[in-house]
Structure 1
Amino acid sequence: MFELLASTTWRTILRAKQNQIALGEDAITSINLNAIASFAGGVAVEDTRIDEAKKGCDFEVWIGSADEGWCRYAVQAKKISFRGFRYEKLRHRVRGRDQIEILQEYAAKVRAAPIFCFFNFAPHVDVFNCKRDHDETQLGCMVLPAAVVEDALRTRGRRHFGWLHAQQEAIPWRCLITCLPGHLAVRTPSASLGWQNLESFHHEELPHDLQRGLRQKGSIHADQPVSHGEVPSYPLQEGFFYPRWHVVVDTGEAGEDSRARSSQSLWHRG
């Protein structure tokens, strides 16, 4: 799911530019959060944009399980601009304070990792830090520790994709699930940079409201197989509707050719 959202974000940003359609950071955040929140397990999200002035983050993500505990991330989202492929709102101020300062202060208070998620498209990718299969579109949703962004803000000429994606801490957001422990060991000469120690944002269990949300999502399921052209027999509850789209995700270890074919036919109209 995280891979699909990243590659979709990458291509959608490009198509919106080509079609001269305004596509804001807030819209991308909403689409991606809605997809993640619909996922049944392993990930819990909370939209914090209503409290962004106090928390400095657009959303929080919890990744883990009841057995292994949960990693908590306070995430500030930024969208790339085609003018120099810069992040024009990277130094944003809220009521006289730098947004990144508010983010770091809040994250320390609640024991979360303060990170930035960059929604990207770029014509050239010079560095790809994930050791899994090389796919430039995975940088459509690229995450970085706030400390690295803070360093970029201190020095002129670093607030763009070219510099930020080349930093060794810059990884596709799938790595938060698939290979983060390897990236936690990454350190630069400056002790202030790099991914935090895992213990600093690891929690034994989810807050009760998020636990309840995950259980509720797990209870919505199809009673019977859905045939083409039929209205599915879903147990409707207030606020829930049967889906008009079905997403099929094959998590098997397919070859490159089969992955390419499946990605082209992943979305099917219900």
Structure 2
Amino acid sequence: MPLDIVEVVRDMDRLARATWDRVMIGDIAGLKFREDSITDELLFALMRKHPQLAVRRLNQSEEKTAGADWEWWIGSWSLGWFRLKIQAKRVHGKKYRELDHRGDIDAGHEFQYQTLIAGCQGESTYPFHVFFNGWAQDRFRESFVSDHIHRCGPLDQELWGCAVMSSYSVVDLHLGSRGTEWTERSFVPRYMPASLPWSRLFTLACTNAVADNLKAYRAHYATMSSEQILDDLRMAAILLDGAGRGEISGVDGSGALNWARQTLTSTPLVTRLPGYAHKTLAAHRYFLETGDFAEGNPNFLIGPEDALTGRLPDVLLLLDLDLDLDEIDRPR
């Protein structure tokens, strides 16, 4: 059974709703869930449901020089890969206060998001922020309206439990806000209108969790080859990235799509994965062969010999579009 992108989108929306409730109720109860614990739970849940997603925890001491909480390598061994580098921030009160987190000072980066972007200058690599949200209805007076509501219709606010936006937009709103009081630069309502549910990283077709839309969306992908699906997914990332850079005014319309297609053809895929991604594959194979994780399994640990040079994230996911689970013997 190959990867079902529609089910990935559906599950990401489900997890976003659960995150909204977890953050909101946790805050009320005084349980301040950390970003890394939320991240671990989300990615583990996705991998358990979709084994084509391989996950491996890497050395947390590398986060300072990576600027990323996780990477998502999407593609296949036959076609090539593109990479999403993602930094996660959770809401605290009315602010994303960790946006003030310092970056790699040795590299001249004042803020962490500058470190993230600096590591995304290679081929087919795109930086994004994912915000973990959740609050009671009376926390804000502002009404949050996403910039895509005119083409999607109203979406449930809980889908912004995991909200994504280009890291270039974060720079513009946080660092480039001349004349804005510093205390307001991390104010949540500044960021929400420019963000989307995180599942939109995986779809050009903007769809709510409505059965008819999902059926049409599944039919759309059913006729496509792995190469076409890879192009479709990469165009979604290119559109969000381009809007964040200011190269296009929005992600909607034929003009934006034509720009994304041109950018797609001029941006080569990554053909060789770094060494730590191959270690992810080893962990992935262990999961497929055993059908489950074993706590403390050495395939999931990183040793001193793995202190690789370069910018490593805390978590790496490998999404293999060609992997067909029906072709793998798994234990009953």
Question: TM (normalized to structure 2)?
Answer: 0.57
More strand by share: 1
More helix by share: 2
Q: 1:194 to 1:54 in 2, by over 3 A?
A: farther
Number of corresponding residues:
224
Q: Does 1:211 align with 2:236?
A: no
When the two chains are superposed, the root-mean-square deviation of aligned CA atoms in Å is 3.5
Q: 1:13 to 1:115 in 2, by over 3 A?
A: same
Indicate which of 6, 12, 31 corresponds to 1:2. Answer: 12
Aligned to 1:55: 66
Q: CA deviation at 1:152?
A: 0.9
Q: CA deviation at 1:68?
A: 5.6
- Contact 1:72 1:201 (8 Å CA) reproduced: no
Q: 1:134 to 1:65 in 2, by over 3 A?
A: farther
What is the 5 A alignment of 1:66-215? 69-82=80-93, 85-96=94-105, 97=109, 98-109=111-122, 111-122=124-135, 123=137, 126-128=144-146, 129=148, 131=152, 134-153=155-174, 154-155=176-177, 156=180, 157-167=184-194, 170-179=195-204, 181=235, 184-185=238-239, 187=243, 190-191=246-247, 197-198=263-264, 200=267, 202-204=269-271, 207-215=277-285
Q: CA deviation at 1:183?
A: 6.8
Deviations 1:89-145 (CA, angstroms, capped at 9, x unpaired)? 102113533211211112224752111111012436522437388222111111111
Q: CA deviation at 1:164?
A: 1.1
SS in 1 for 2:144: coil
User: In 1, Cα distance between the equivalents of 2:64 and 2:29?
Assistant: 33
Question: Which fold has the larger relative contact order, with Cα–Cα distance below 8 Å and residues 6 or more apart in sequence?
Answer: 2
Give the gaps of 5 or more residues in structure 1.
Answer: 222-233, 241-270
Indicate which of 17, 23, 33 corresponds to 1:13. Answer: 23
Quote the sequence identity (%).
24
Q: Does 1:29 align with 2:42?
A: no
SS in 1 for 2:158: helix
Aligned to 2:301: none
Q: 1:238 to 1:79 in 2, by over 3 A?
A: closer
Q: 1:165 to 1:65 in 2, by over 3 A?
A: farther
User: In 2, Cα distance between the equivalents of 1:55 and 1:140?
Assistant: 24
Q: CA deviation at 1:213?
A: 3.0
Q: Which deviates more, 208-217 or 12-21? A: 208-217
Give the gaps of 5 or more residues in structure 2.
Answer: 1-10, 205-232, 252-259, 299-332
SS in 2 for 1:152: helix
User: In 1, Cα distance between the equivalents of 2:88 and 2:293?
Assistant: 35
The one-letter amino acid paired with 1:126 is: F
The one-letter amino acid paired with 2:199 is: R
Q: 1:190 to 1:178 in 2, by over 3 A?
A: closer
User: In 2, Cα distance between the equivalents of 1:235 and 1:51?
Assistant: 24
Q: Which deviates more, 178-187 or 11-20? A: 178-187
Question: TM (normalized to structure 1)?
Answer: 0.68
Aligned to 1:251: none
What is the 5 A alignment of 1:223-238? none
The one-letter amino acid paired with 1:134 is: L
